[in-house]
Amino acid sequence: MIRLRNIEKIYRTDTVETLALNSISLDIAKGEFLSIMGPSGCGKSTLLNIMGLLDTPSNGQVQIDDQATTALSDKQLAHFRNRKIGFIFQSYHLINDLKVLDNVELPMLYRNSSAGERKQLATEALEKVGLSNRIKHFPKQLSGGQKQRVAIARAIVGKPEIILADEPTGNLDSAMGNEIMDILLELNKTDGTTIVMVTHDENMARKTHRLVRLFDGTQVQ
């Protein structure tokens, strides 16, 4: 599903050059749930952003679903990303002045679906994360765990084959974190969604199929 070959990422400014990723090669199978761990600054977010086509590597190849992505234009990349990949972030990234339902509908605005279809898909996604009773609330009226559930609903509304989650439980206490983890495990098991999750929590990582550890941009496990 995701194939990385000799991925290198160098961040350059006028004075500093940082090798953030050093020749990472990784194959992630369809239906796999992979976690990525490692100390702060080791390249986890950079790797996830490259997998998610939010950022491009300095060298190396990214293949998603047998499509070599280096050949795609920015517009094609955006289209591909919108269809295939759902993102979840530690700090939710919800739009505060949109109601829950409207937040979840957002990714569908880029598609040619009618308002009725958008509403139905968003409602279904919110049912899946157990938030049907909060669709008219605003994000600030929700707990952290509920906000993250809205973010998951937004990530899955377009039925992506891949979910990329950057520390999805990082801001949550362990009870709420476990709830979020259970939803991700269920999406992986029931829908066969491929999931890659960055985490600092060994307990969360242990529940996934495989763990990759990074240190200073290099894969050490």
| Contacting positions for ligand ADP (CB under 6 A) | 11, 18, 20, 38, 40-46, 49, 54, 89-91, 93, 166-167
- Cβ at position 74, least distance to ligand ADP in Å: 13
Least gap, CB of 20 to ligand ADP (angstroms): 3
In the complex with ligand ADP, the residue whose CB is nearer, 43 or 158, is: 43
Tokens of 198: 């960055």
Nearest approach, Cβ of residue 144 and ligand ADP (Å): 12
Sequence-ordered strand ranges (E) for the chain:
2-12, 17-28, 33-37, 59-64, 67-68, 85-89, 162-166, 194-198, 210-215, 218-219
Identify which of residues 103 and 193 has a Cβ nearer to ligand ADP in the complex: 103
Smaller CB distance to ligand ADP: residue 18 or 113? 18
Q: Which is nearer to ligand ADP, 18 or 218 (CB)?
A: 18
Q: Smallest distance from the beta carbon of 156 to ligand ADP, in angstroms?
A: 15
Q: In the beta sheet, which residues pair with residue 30? A: none
Q: State whether residue 18 is helix, strand or coil.
A: strand
Q: Which is nearer to ligand ADP, 17 or 66 (CB)?
A: 17
CA gap 159, 132 in Å, rounded: 18
Query: Which secondary-structure segment (H or E) carries 127?
Result: helix 115-128
Nearest distance in Å: CB 82, ligand ADP: 11
- Please give the Cα distance from 211 to 145 (Å, whole number): 24
